[in-house]
A = this chain, B = another copy of it.
Amino acid sequence: VAEHFADRLMRACEDRGAPVCVGLDPVLEKLPDELRAAISDASDAAAVKAMGQWCQGVLEAVADHVPCVKPQMACFERYHAAGMDLYFSLVQRAKALGLLVIADGKRGDIGLSAAHYAAGLLAGSAGADALTVNAYLGGDGLEPFVQLAADEGKGLFALVRTSNPGGDALQSLLLQDGRRVGEAVGDLVAALGCSQPHYLGQGGYSLLGAVVGATKPGDAGKLRQRMPQQIFLVPGFGAQGGTADDVRACFDDQHRGALITASRSVTYPPDATRGDWHAAITAAAKQFKGEIAQILGR
């Protein structure tokens, strides 16, 4: 039996010294000068090759310092099958370097289609360790993902409260029963994620976690109370305006149960366009980790 995802993730965070995750959003226009200069033509193949070199460089730069990475699947799918080929290679390379991989695909469908996404993106050695999913279709949209994750020691993070300004339009609407829409989704995630004993790891956390942005003051604390056994995947710190207090509210009383992500601030630091971009990214990853460790009083 595969070890439970939540236990694997919590241990990796302990080993590396802080619960942090580096987002991988390869965008051609942002790559270091060195890589951009070597692009031979305007073809997708040339672009994907440069992105692949950058991804490999980022993985090597951060692997000794952080427990996991989160590739943004949209950046790869943009380049069609060649981009997806790079994506699946990247998952292998990251794992080989000892990193956990959270595929940021925000997939969501029903029945058989949800099972196909789970099979393609999570299953077996080709699959990532975890996947972000969208809960708008309800519990029977999430269940096929949850069942495969349980069978294979993989994890999921359902979108509950996103960090973008427009997230409020739907997620903060008030229901007649007094809850916000985002809270109702959180309740659904908590109920499903704790509905079977084997969905919970030895540390008490569920394989079904929640995406909760760090940019909505007050919300994270309330959601923490509604989802005591969900690991929170937390975007929005730094670049998107999330503060130390916002981040702290995502953790439980033991300062556990959340994973803070940073993408652009770590992988595209101001000094990384020219010169030794590997070193600049390592330094940015260490600084990010230090900031989160300090917020947690470590």
Contacts and interface: CB of A to CB of B under 8 A. Distances in A.
A42 to B, nearest CB: 13
A171 interface: yes
In the A-B complex, list the 6 residue pairs whose CB atoms are closest, starting with the nearest.
A140-B166, A138-B166, A81-B85, A74-B116, A138-B169, A78-B120
29 contacts: A74-B117, A75-B113, A77-B117, A77-B120, A77-B121, A78-B120, A80-B120, A81-B84, A81-B85, A81-B87, A104-B113, A108-B108, A110-B164, A134-B134, A135-B170, A136-B136, A136-B159, A137-B162, A137-B164, A137-B166, A138-B170, A138-B171, A140-B165, A141-B164, A170-B181, A170-B185, A174-B176, A175-B175, A175-B176
A279 interface: no
Contact of A78 (B78, B117, B135): B117
Contacts of A138: 162, 164, 166-171
Interface of A: 25, 27, 72, 74-75, 77-85, 87-88, 104, 106-114, 116-117, 119-121, 126, 134-141, 159, 162-171, 173-177, 181, 184-185, 188
Most chain-B Cβ atoms within 10 A of its Cβ — which of A77, A119, A121, A185?
A77
Contacts of A185: 170
A167 B84 CA distance: 30
A108 B166 CA distance: 13
